[in-house]
Amino acid sequence: MMDTEESDIDIDVFSSPTSRYYNPDIARKLFDACGQFEEFAAGSRVFAEGDIADKRGLFLKSRPHRMFLLTEGEVQLTANGKLIDTIRRGGIFGEMAIISELPGASGVPRTATATASTASMAYSLDVKETEKALQRAPGFALMLMSVMFERLRFLAARLSTKPDSEDHHSNNSEPIFDRDTLLHIREKLPNAKVVNFAEGAKIMEEGAPGSSMYVVLTGRVSIAIGRKVVEKLGAGGVFGEMALVDNSPRTATAVARIDCELLAVDRESLITMVKTDPAVGMQMMRAVAGRIRYMNGLLA
């Protein structure tokens, strides 16, 4: 691990010379500073679907979860025996289990198996090292979110082509922010605006450009992809953040189920909030991880 000063790690995913959303060189610097180096022989398993972490690491099968930044080689991700992704140099994988455990819960199983298809090298972070990295460079949360958003878009595209099913059930999401955090956010973001939507009003539309992320202050909101309602949010819920992080079209439509009061947060305020407050970044990433797990379940 190299000795890297905190001031050397300046993350700005929006001016990255190597990617629209994500800079693998800066990510490598942070993984190197806070994590450990690992090598995998061709054909070896990095982690397995269903593995459950034990932070004590008493048994190899239950070693602490780690997420990986691949620096050389190629790793394949499979779920239920099917190939779901191929990770190449500069790619991050295994982040779902880590983020689901922040800030330190345990017992979250892996949702995929990672196998080195060639001799590979990587840096890795466990939960505590990830917390350290986020404290050291809060903007790292934006990088991780951009990686997860790409996974969400892929899942949303697959879900939109899946036939309607009578046994489909939407995800009733847990609040991301409690009452005190909501008050803190309102005080911290002077540019944020409180907006109201009547029952049945369309708040945002799939495919449209997005200029705001919304935090539910009161009321209930339904999130739909195509004709399928995939999520229901109440006070403390957040939606619309994907379009702000990477300037992409909306992935879903949001409708007020009852009269709603929402806090509209613009892109600059979101970036500032995540980069200056690691706790906010952690909470938002954990919510995104929950959405990915839910949508994976719909497509299983």
Give domain limits for the chain: 6-137, 164-299
> What pLDDT, on the 0 to 100 scale, is given for residue 15?
33
From 240, 224, 229, 221, select the one nearest 288 (Cα to Cα): 240
> What pLDDT, on the 0 to 100 scale, is given for residue 85?
86
Comparing 280 with 89, the larger pLDDT belongs to 89
Comparing 25 with 122, the larger pLDDT belongs to 122
> What pLDDT, on the 0 to 100 scale, is given for residue 185?
78
> What pLDDT, on the 0 to 100 scale, is given for residue 172?
66
> What pLDDT, on the 0 to 100 scale, is given for residue 3?
44
- pTM of this prediction? 0.75
User: Of the ranges 24-28, 39-43, 169-173, 262-266, which one carries the lowest mean pLDDT score?
Assistant: 169-173
Comparing 256 with 266, the larger pLDDT belongs to 256
> What pLDDT, on the 0 to 100 scale, is given for residue 13?
36
> What pLDDT, on the 0 to 100 scale, is given for residue 171?
65
Q: Find how far residue 292's CA is from the centre of its chain.
A: 8
> One fold for both 6-137 and 164-299?
yes
- Which of 89-93, 114-118, 136-140, 207-211 ranks highest by mean pLDDT? 114-118
Q: Measuring CA to CA, how many Å separate 280 from each of 17, 146, 188, 200, 212?
A: 27, 16, 12, 30, 17
> What pLDDT, on the 0 to 100 scale, is given for residue 253?
95
- Residues of the chain with pLDDT > 90, as a percent, come to 33
- Phi/psi of residue 64, nearest 5 degrees: -55, 140
Q: What is the pLDDT averaged over residues 240-247? A: 80
| pLDDT tens, residue by residue, 61-77 | 456 789 999 999 999 99
User: Of the ranges 6-10, 187-191, 243-247, which one carries the lowest mean pLDDT score?
Assistant: 6-10
Residues 263/192, Cβ–Cβ less than 8 Å: yes
Kindly tell me if the per-residue pLDDT of 5 is higher than 50: no
Distance CA 185, CA 263 (A): 9
pLDDT band with cut points at 50, 70 and 90 for residue 2: very low
Q: Measuring CA to CA, how many Å separate 136 from each of 10, 11, 16, 26?
A: 10, 10, 19, 13
- Which of 9-18, 61-70, 164-173, 216-225 ranks highest by mean pLDDT? 216-225
> What pLDDT, on the 0 to 100 scale, is given for residue 281?
79
Kindly tell me if the per-residue pLDDT of 213 is higher than 80: yes
> What pLDDT, on the 0 to 100 scale, is given for residue 300?
63
pLDDT band with cut points at 50, 70 and 90 for residue 6: very low
Structure tokens at 263: 């806090």
Beta-bridge partners for 124: 36, 68
> What pLDDT, on the 0 to 100 scale, is given for residue 93?
93
* CATH dotted code for 164-299: 2.60.120.10
User: Of the ranges 12-16, 141-145, 211-215, which one carries the lowest mean pLDDT score?
Assistant: 12-16
pLDDT band with cut points at 50, 70 and 90 for residue 97: confident
> What pLDDT, on the 0 to 100 scale, is given for residue 165?
60
**What interhelical angle do 278-299 and 127-136 show, nearest 10?**
130
Q: Which one of 3.40.1380.10, 2.60.40.1240, 2.60.120.10, 3.40.50.1980 gives the CATH number of domain 6-137?
A: 2.60.120.10
Mean pLDDT of the chain: 81
> What pLDDT, on the 0 to 100 scale, is given for residue 277?
77
